[in-house]
Chains A and B, each alone.
Chain A
Amino acid sequence: MKSMSLYEEKHSFLNKLSPITKMIYVVAAILIPAFAGEKMLAVGFMIFSMLLLMHSKVIRRTFPILGVSGFVVLTVLIIQGLFRAGNETVVLDMGPVAFYKEGLLFALGIAINVFNIILCFCVLVLSTKPSDMVEELVRKGFSPRIGYVFTSLFQLIPQMTDRMSTITDAQKSRGMETEGSLMIRMKAFLPLISPVIMSSFIDTKERAIALEVRGFNAKNKKTFLNESTKIPVDNVIIIILVVGIVCSIGWRIMTWLR
Chain B
Amino acid sequence: MAEIKVENLKYRYPYTEKLALDGITCEIKQGEFIGVIGKNGSGKSTFCQALTGLVPTFYRGAYGGKVFIDEIEVKNVEVDDLCQKVGIVFQNPFNQVTGSKLTVYEEIAFGLENFGIERSQMRKRIDESLALLDIAKYKDRAPFDLSGGQMQRMAIASIIAMEPEIIILDEPTSQLDPQGSEEVFQAVQKLSQKGITVIMVEHKIEKIAAYSDRVMLLDDGKLVDFDIPQKVFSRTDLEEHGVVPPTYTRIGKALNLRVSETDTYPVTLQEAEQLLAHRQE
| A interface residues with partner B (beta carbon < 8 Å) | 1-2, 129, 131, 134, 148, 151-152, 155-156, 159, 203, 206-207, 209-227
**Option from B54, B58, B99, B119 in Cβ contact (under 8 Å) with A159:** B99
In the complex, which residue of chain A has the Cβ closest to the Cβ of B168? A213
Interface members, chain B 159-182 (any A CB < 8 Å): 159, 162
Q: Determine whether the beta carbon of B87 is less than 8 Å from that of A225.
A: no
| B interface residues with partner A (beta carbon < 8 Å) | 52, 54, 58, 78-80, 83-84, 87-88, 90, 92, 94-102, 105-106, 109-119, 122-123, 126, 142, 144-145, 155, 158-159, 162
Instruction: Report B-chain residues with C-beta under 8 Å of the C-beta of A152.
Output: 98-100
Instruction: Report A-chain residues with C-beta under 8 Å of the C-beta of B101.
Output: 131
A214 with B83, Cβ < 8 A, contacts A1-B145, A203-B95, A223-B118 known? yes
Q: Determine whether the beta carbon of A223 is less than 8 Å from that of B122.
A: yes
Q: Determine whether the beta carbon of A222 is less than 8 Å from that of B116.
A: yes
Number of A-B contacts (CB under 8 A): 109
Q: Determine whether the beta carbon of B58 is less than 8 Å from that of A211.
A: no
**Option from B116, B122, B145 in Cβ contact (under 8 Å) with A220:** B116
Q: Determine whether the beta carbon of B79 is less than 8 Å from that of A225.
A: no
Q: Determine whether the beta carbon of B114 is less than 8 Å from that of A214.
A: yes
Instruction: Report A-chain residues with C-beta under 8 Å of the C-beta of B126.
Output: 225
In the complex, which residue of chain A has the Cβ closest to the Cβ of B92? A206
Instruction: Report A-chain residues with C-beta under 8 Å of the C-beta of B115.
Output: 215, 218, 220
Q: Determine whether the beta carbon of A212 is less than 8 Å from that of B54.
A: yes
In the complex, which residue of chain B has the Cβ closest to the Cβ of A132? B102
Q: How far is the CA of A221 from the CA of B118 in the complex (A)?
A: 11
The 10 A-B pairs with the shortest beta carbon distances in the complex, nearest first, are: A1-B142, A215-B114, A214-B111, A220-B116, A152-B99, A206-B95, A225-B109, A151-B100, A210-B96, A218-B80
**Option from A129, A156, A212, A223 in Cβ contact (under 8 Å) with B119:** A223
Sample of 9 more A-B contacts, CB < 8 Å, known A131-B102, A224-B113: A206-B90, A207-B99, A211-B98, A213-B79, A213-B83, A214-B98, A222-B114, A223-B122, A225-B123
Q: List 30 A-B contacts (CB under 8 A).
A: A1-B142, A1-B145, A131-B106, A152-B98, A155-B100, A156-B99, A159-B94, A159-B99, A207-B95, A207-B96, A207-B98, A207-B99, A209-B90, A210-B90, A210-B96, A210-B155, A213-B52, A213-B54, A213-B159, A214-B83, A214-B111, A214-B114, A214-B158, A215-B80, A215-B83, A215-B162, A223-B119, A225-B112, A225-B122, A227-B119
